[in-house]
């Protein structure tokens, strides 16, 4: 039962983190293309999306660690799984950095740095593909 619940939360968190990457990325792309800075309300949405992304990554880590221990007795599962958790670790670090950057810029009443946000969105997309590919290979 606990394994089923952990898997459910692992999958729910995947939906949330993916939604944040796609939704947040799209909002940023539309504003960048229009050469505009998001207004105060859209900035608020982006900030909340950032927190949601970080929270869902933390849920992925907590449920993932518990699942690895319960089902496989640890983290030495296979190479694809190791690659998956290394990419997931980079994703978590990236999410921390972006959230701190967005928090600091909103505190200083400034929009987040465009290049940092673009780089972060692009790396985030790449990393999530590596994680998903790793999961697909590891558990096939």
Tell me which residues touch ligand HEM (CB under 6 A).
Answer: 7, 10, 14, 17, 57, 60-61, 64-65, 67-68, 71, 85, 88, 91, 128, 131-132, 135, 139
Q: Indicate the residue among 46 and 94 with the shorter CB distance to ligand HEM.
A: 94
Q: Indicate the residue among 61 and 106 with the shorter CB distance to ligand HEM.
A: 61
Q: How far apart are CA 21 and CA 122, in angstroms?
A: 9
Burial class, 15, CB count within 10 angstroms (exposed 0-12 / middle 13-18 / buried 19+): exposed
Q: How far is the CB of 90 from ligand HEM (least distance, A)?
A: 10
Nearest to 28, CA basis, from 126, 119, 91: 119
Q: How far is the CB of 13 from ligand HEM (least distance, A)?
A: 8
Helix/strand/coil for 60: helix
Q: How far apart are CA 136 and CA 31, in angstroms?
A: 34
**Spatial CB neighbours of 52, under 8 Å, sequence gap ≥ 6:** 16, 20
Nearest to 24, CA basis, from 34, 13, 32: 32
Q: How far is the CB of 136 from ligand HEM (least distance, A)?
A: 6
Q: Indicate the residue among 49 and 85 with the shorter CB distance to ligand HEM.
A: 85
Q: How far is the CB of 75 from ligand HEM (least distance, A)?
A: 6
Q: Indicate the residue among 42 and 80 with the shorter CB distance to ligand HEM.
A: 80
Q: Indicate the residue among 113 and 139 with the shorter CB distance to ligand HEM.
A: 139
Residue of closest CB approach to ligand HEM: 64
């Amino acid at each position: 039962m606990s394994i089923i619940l952990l898997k459910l939360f692992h999958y729910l968190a995947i939906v949330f983190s993916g939604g944040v990457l796609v939704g947040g990325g799209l909002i940023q792309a539309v504003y960048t293309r229009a050469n505009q800075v998001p207004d105060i309300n859209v900035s608020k949405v982006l900030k909340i999306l950032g927190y949601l992304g970080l929270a869902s990554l933390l849920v992925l880590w907590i449920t993932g660690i518990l699942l690895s221990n319960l089902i496989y007795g640890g983290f030495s599962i296979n190479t694809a799984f190791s690659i998956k958790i290394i990419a997931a670790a980079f994703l978590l670090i990236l999410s921390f950095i972006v959230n701190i950057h967005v928090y600091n810029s909103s505190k200083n009443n400034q929009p987040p740095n465009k290049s940092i946000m673009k780089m972060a969105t692009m790396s985030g997309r790449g990393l999530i593909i590596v994680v998903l590919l790793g999961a697909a290979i590891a558990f096939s």
